[in-house]
Structure 1
Amino acid sequence: MKNLGICCALLMFVFFSCGDSNEKKEEKRQNQEEVISSDKKKDEATKTILFFGNSLTAGLGLESDETFPALIQEKIDSLNLDYRVINAGLSGETTAAGKNRINWVLKQNVDVFVLELGANDGLRGIALEETRENLQAIIDIVREKNPETEIILAGMQIPPNMGQEYTSEFRNIFPELAEKNNVHIIPFLLENVAGKPELNQQDGIHPTAEGQEIVAKNVWEILAPIVKEENYQE
């Protein structure tokens, strides 16, 4: 009888263990299906949002899914909007380098173009007129490629290391270009992030994962009306 009791206990253990294992396998299978479905949805999206920028866009020091373009994709997916996000950020990129790279990036069709360049120019003290001309050239090239592309210019500010006059004029480049070209503008990409040690990495320049979440909110505030309206028109 004692042996019989042990056998029954073992059978019950195996039964529940198998059940638990099957549940975990089923949960894993469902999770995999969700990932596959999400990736398939992105591949089948008919519209594209391209983020063209430097290390702030590329997410220097972070995982790819922690960058603000990736967070924007998550938001878009949650709303079932027909957009695929492309992160074309490149660390160290200046406006001059961006101007040289833009034609290669625009080989694909782009519906919304987010231009995030200029910070490296400012930190290096590049002539303000050069920065302005390069940004204008990039906007012109995007418009020439597709006049219907919605353009968003990310405003940027820099520390006053280069002097108050340079800093002020640098900040004004972005709203002035936005008004001149009738494009959308994010007033300051790093609003509520810049200057806050707890939201930046050790270099004090690049946002942490938490900082990127705030940056994504700054971007979404301007981007949301564009993608929702376009989706509604469909």
Structure 2
Amino acid sequence: MTKKIPSFSFPLMFCYFLTTLLLGCGEKGPKKEDAAISTAEEVEVTQSSGTDKKILFFGDSLTAGYGLEVSQAFPALIQQKIDSLDLDYTVINAGLSGETTASGKNRLEWVLTDDVDIVIIELGANDGLRGVPLTETEQNLKEMVNKVQSKLPEARIVLAGMMIPPNMGPEYTSKFEHIFPELAESENIELIPFLLEDVAGIPELNQGDGIHPTVKGQKIVAQNVWKVLGPML
């Protein structure tokens, strides 16, 4: 059963957060970002010996853990939680800085393997900040979901919800927000209502760029993910 996305107020720092997220996730940027991309391309975060079930996290710099060690990003924290509970799952981090739904749609098939049991899709923020037509973002996300369903019919899918500030106007902002719960409901997949709940817009939980979560912020993001993923395991 999917959950309806709740309403959140947008503090000033959150507007700054998402307005500048595109710069932090784009192809152009400081050498620090190049390192994050390189790390993300290694894909596999951790692996517990003897496990054969896999959870794929597919997203942008938020998933890749931009500015941090891979072991500090929320997918790795999910692996730690899984290991602490002696669950038989291995987490794969396929986050890539700068990813949009269009580029993600083209990259997804490269990381899908027959032994992936759960796929978490975390994309869309860069689309919203660029003003990509909503129908295009929705269609790209739908195609990614359908691609997973087609190639891995037994795999379970989780969609991570995202919000943007009202820069593009209230109508665009509202419709963007509702893409995620509506798609989750129509495709009968799980939904993380808002990936950055209790993190976005809070300075002490974000790095100096005001964009990406700190180590402490990543722990809260991991909790947001676990609320949905945990019961599935």
Same fold by TM (over 0.5)?
yes
Provide the secondary structure at the position in 2 that maps to 1:185: strand
1:89 corresponds to 2:89 = no
Q: 1:109, CA displacement in angstroms?
A: 2.0
Select which of 171, 187, 197 maps to 1:181. 187
Aligned amino acid, residue 212 of structure 2: H
Deviation of the 1:147 alpha carbon: 1.2
Alignment counterpart, residue 219 of structure 2, candidates 213, 219, 223? 213
Alpha-carbon spacing, 1:68–1:100, altered in 2? closer, same or farther (3 Å)? same
Which secondary structure state, in structure 2, belongs to the residue aligned with residue 153 of structure 1? strand
| 4+ residue segments displaced more than 6 Å | none
Counterpart Cα distance in 1 of 2:182 and 2:148: 18
Cross-structure match for 1:31 = none
Which residue is equivalent to 1:42?
A: 48
The structure whose residues are more often helix, as a share, is 1
Match of 1:80 in 2: 86
Could you say which structure has the larger radius of gyration?
1
| Structure-1 residue corresponding to 2:206 | 200
Q: Secondary structure of the residue that 2:58 maps to in structure 1?
A: strand
TM-score of the superposition, structure 2-length normalised? 0.79
User: What are the within-5 Å matches in structure 2 for residues 5-154 of structure 1?
Assistant: 42-154=48-160
Q: 2:164 aligns with which of 158, 161, 181?
A: 158
Most deviating of 66-75 and 203-212: 203-212
Give, in whole Å, the separation in 2 of the partners of 1:50 and 1:114.
6
1:158 & 1:43 partners in 2: Cα distance? 40
Once the 2 structures are TM-superposed, how far is the Cα of residue 165 of structure 1 from its aligned partner? 1.1
Most deviating of 196-205 and 145-154: 196-205
| Structure 2 alignment gaps of length 5 or more | 1-44
How far, CA to CA, are the matches of 2:197 and 2:146 in structure 1? 27
Deviations 1:149-170 (A, max 9, x none): 1100000001111111111110
Residue 205 of structure 1: how far off its partner (Å)? 2.0
**TM-score of the superposition, structure 1-length normalised?**
0.78
Q: Distance in 2 between matches of 1:49 and 1:170?
A: 27
**Which amino acid letter does the alignment assign opposite residue 160 of structure 2?**
A
Letter in 1 for 2:86: N
Q: 2:173 aligns with which of 167, 171, 176?
A: 167
Percent identity over paired residues: 65
Query: SS where residue 48 of structure 2 aligns?
Result: helix
Any idea what SS the aligned residue of 1:175 has? helix
- Residue 21 (structure 1) aligns with: none
Higher relative contact order (CA 8 A, sep 6+): 2
CA drift of 1:41 comes to: 6.6
Deviations 1:213-233 (A, max 9, x none): 000000000000111xxxxxx
1-side partners of 2:168 and 2:212: how far apart? Answer: 19
**Aligned-partner Cα distance in 2 for 1:125–1:197:** 25
Paired with 1:167 and 1:97, the residues of 2 have a C-alpha distance of: 22
**Superposed displacement of residue 47, structure 1:** 0.2
Q: CA RMSD in A?
A: 1.4
3-state SS of paired residue (2:77):
helix
Equivalences, count: 189
Aligned match of 1:33: none
- Residue type of the partner of 2:201? G
> Any idea what SS the aligned residue of 1:70 has?
helix
Amino acid of the structure 2 residue aligned with 1:87 = N
